[in-house]
Amino acid sequence: MPRKVLVLGGTDFVGPAVVGASLARGDDVTIFHRGQTGSAPDGVRVIHGDRTNPGDLAALTDASWDMVVDAWSRAPRVVLDAARTLEPHAARYVYISTISVYAEAHEGVVTEASPTVAASPDAEATDYAADKRGAELAIEDVFGAERCVFARPGLILGPRENIGRLPWWLRRIAAGGTVLAPGPRDLAVQYIDARDLAAFAIDTSINGAVNVLSRPGHTTMGEVLALCNEVTGADASCTWVDAAFLLARDVAPWTELPIWVPPVGDMVGFYSCDSSLALGSGLTCRSARDTVQDTWSWLRDNPDWTQVVHANRPRVGMAPERESALLAEWAAQPPAAR
């Protein structure tokens, strides 16, 4: 049965995936945004406004919504304002959160029951994890636990990726030459394609928190880079460099070498999050090949795309000179050290 879905934002990465999934199931979709990051597809109602101005939200109160979908990642008080305005008019609030809300100090594999970071629902922007957790608290305070879901992805990939992790690798490998590939080659990578995240989030009947990710080991660092080479038609040659060597030279995992999280240190368990609740409740994950191929196809259709840099997220990627210097130093290591 078609639903009336309100998407706050809706034109930047996960937003278009939500809109696409909703349209595919026949929903009546409205997006509320400032009109700065893209346009809505045909068949979508558009209401322009700035959600940081509470008065603009009044334009959303002349209708009833079966579902509100939100992915805001800055000041929680902005989500609190939206929740308070929409609560009398909406049946359910779907929030795209993150596994970053879990506290760094925890025992074992991260599950939905793991402890979360300290946060406040009416706070100004602080850091990414606290901002996301504060938004969850804001929604739960207003809508109650039975009328909301917090979809918690980890690494999100796919077409329109606004952080630029997979796009950086695709473009680097497409440029050819010798590529610094961070080891180990068989490092397990757990992620979710934005389109699979969206389809699950808008259909799930789960209330509260749910980790929305592939199974651990869905792909590997080696497979991702091999697929990048394949889909771009490049002649790049990957030189696999030991994780300890890179860390000893202050190479930043996750940001300087996107996607890479070494199997040592504080983030060692990042790609082993328990996603069994979502996987047992209807989450389906497309292949890494589909995600890489579709992202490259989108980049070719949008050659001028550049990373969107948010105040609470760093720029990703390694400078060419730094890569060259590290490769030269690695090559100079005695064979036994490589």
The secondary structure of residue 90, as a DSSP letter, is: B
Q: Which residues contact 233 (CB under 8 A, 6 or more apart)?
A: none
**CA 201 – CA 2 distance, rounded (Å):** 16
What Cα–Cα distance (Å) separates residue 158 from each residue in 139, 194, 259, 276?
Answer: 27, 6, 13, 22
Q: Can you give the pLDDT at residue 264? A: 84
pTM of the model: 0.95
* pLDDT on residue 306: 74
Cα 239 from Cα 191, distance rounded (Å): 24
Mean pLDDT, to the nearest integer, of 286-313?
A: 84
On the question of pLDDT at 266 being above 80, the answer is no
The residue type found at 177 is: G
What does the block give as tokens for 137?
């608290």
Left if phi > 0, otherwise alpha if psi is -120 to 50, otherwise beta: which for 262?
Answer: beta
Q: Where are the domains of the chain?
A: 4-152, 163-189+218-271+287-337
Of 38-52, 137-151, 205-219, 226-240, the least confident? 38-52
How would residue 304 be classed by pLDDT, with cut points 50, 70 and 90?
Answer: confident
Domain 4-152 maps to which CATH number in 3.90.1490.10, 3.40.50.720, 3.30.70.890, 1.10.150.120? 3.40.50.720
